[in-house]
Amino acid sequence: MRLILFIVSLWLTLALTSGLQCYMCSSHYDSDCIEERNTTKILTCTDFIYGINPITLRCVRIVSISDSNRLIVVRRCAVLGDCKYVAKNDRQSCTECNTDLCNSGK
């Protein structure tokens, strides 16, 4: 019985402390971000408490076309609702998701 309780408590601890994993890169600095050839840039986002309100994190993928028609891709962790602050038009899009490595764009 103690073994079962230990296993259940260990599982709960791991489940509660593990965070969402997102790709983290910017094609401004790393051209591999566009094609996502480099999967070593994986960040574990951690939910945290700000005051008394929990903040829910998401993975985002922002795709833009610059004024010089250069494709720009940014993948990162973000706060739920962050995409509403990104201008959405024919030259820019933002996608939020909430599963591990969901901001791959595949």
* Digit-coded pLDDT (tens) for 47-82: 654 555 567 899 999 999 988 999 999 999 999 999
Burial 25-56, CB ≥16 within 10 A → b, else e: bebeeeeebeebeeeebebebeeeeeeeeeee
Interatomic CA distance for residues 40 and 25, integer angstroms? 10
Q: Give the pLDDT band of residue 1 (cuts 50, 70, 90).
A: low
The DSSP letter of residue 99 is S
Query: What pLDDT shows up at residue 88?
Result: 74
* Digit-coded pLDDT (tens) for 2-22: 544 434 344 444 444 468 999
Query: What pLDDT shows up at residue 15?
Result: 43
Show me where the domains of the chain are located: 20-104
Statement: 20-104 belongs to CATH 3.40.50.10540: no
Kindly report the backbone phi and psi dihedral angles of residue 40, in degrees, each rounded to the nearest multiple of 5, phi listed first.
-80, -15
